[in-house]
Amino acid sequence: MRQERSESELVTLEEARAILGVGRTTLYRIMAEGSLRPIPGNPNKLRQQRYIKRRDLERLIREGRKPMQRRAS
């Protein structure tokens, strides 16, 4: 039996950016590092929305993790 996801459990990438106070590039870097895993939305939509679990965001904030810094070349 599949459980329905509560809307409050998931946030959009835009909402995640606002919660973390970071820009788009930084959020994508955090996801690339594996600190946050995006969840795909409705595959039937032309432009598919992705989501982040709210508890993963809270864990990231609680742990005080910061994304890797780019090295100056």
> Residue 16 CB: number of other CB atoms within 10 A?
24
Exposed (0-12), middle (13-18) or buried (19+): which is 32, by Cβ within 10 Å?
A: exposed
- With cut-offs at 50, 70 and 90, classify the pLDDT of residue 2: very low
Does this model's pTM top 0.75?
A: no
pLDDT digits (tens, 9 = 90+) for 12-40: 999 999 999 999 999 999 999 999 999 88
